[in-house]
Structure 1
């Protein structure tokens, strides 16, 4: 099996949305569903957002992994700024804990999404994607947020030298999940 990494393109939007939802254990769908219009699925909303040229959830920040020419995985990352993001009444309640953690990881390369389709797990795809991110850290290293119940992801990240830096309770609105907390992992 040959793994190839490439920059994402607008036509990858549906895969970006699907893989982001896998990475977020349904968190993205819960947010997207709240803005879906008649006839739209949550994934449709996510795909529209992924096609944008701007914003952190954009194909412009995404790397696609292909196995033998088929889309297998995704990483979305960007450098966090040096100023904390303000949490206001306009910040969706489910995002508030995430923003709190992101504010603890300023000037890092924040890997906001890292996932593979289930059939490509344990094939080296996630390793290839994370290796690429490790080659281009921010001034203060790398950061990533995962949930308390995603033990496999946490073990994988610890094998790559990440350590837990902060924990906050998750806020759940129309999101059926065993997640109780979000964990910020960092690598210098």
Structure 2
């Protein structure tokens, strides 16, 4: 049991470090598109780079062959490079989109984002703490999740300030002001 606890603690520390590194890092944007900026905020850095590749490919390699409307549904025929054809169906009324390539799950708007690839995925724990069982598919303990997010934000701010005394002092003042408000 001791090895399991040590391995779990090590995994959590590594995950916290990766999250902290990720929070303080702003990747370069390759396009002026809002979807790329949105992806940089939502996804982990590793997944963001994969999504960024897809965004760039769609901008520079894809071509719309035709668009047709059929009862509130827009059908787009897309050519990817010179070999692959895809069809995107956009339901204008429901604001839903589906593509034969199935990439909306990775690069689409927030409702198409698969949670496991996001920065917040680790906030949805699947273990027991203080008698509370956290299950990603079950009911969420919003308080615990918010506490995790606050701690993550605090660690992120401390990492970004680094050894810069001016920034650390300013951050400390903000924290102390909030503490006084709570008291």
State whether TM-score is above 0.5: no
Larger RCO, structure (CA 8 Å, separation 6 or more): 1
The structure that is helix-richer by fraction is 2
Shorter-normalised TM range: under 0.3
- For the pair shown, the structure with the greater C-alpha radius of gyration is 2
Q: Normalising by structure 2, what TM-score? A: 0.22
The structure that is strand-richer by fraction is 1
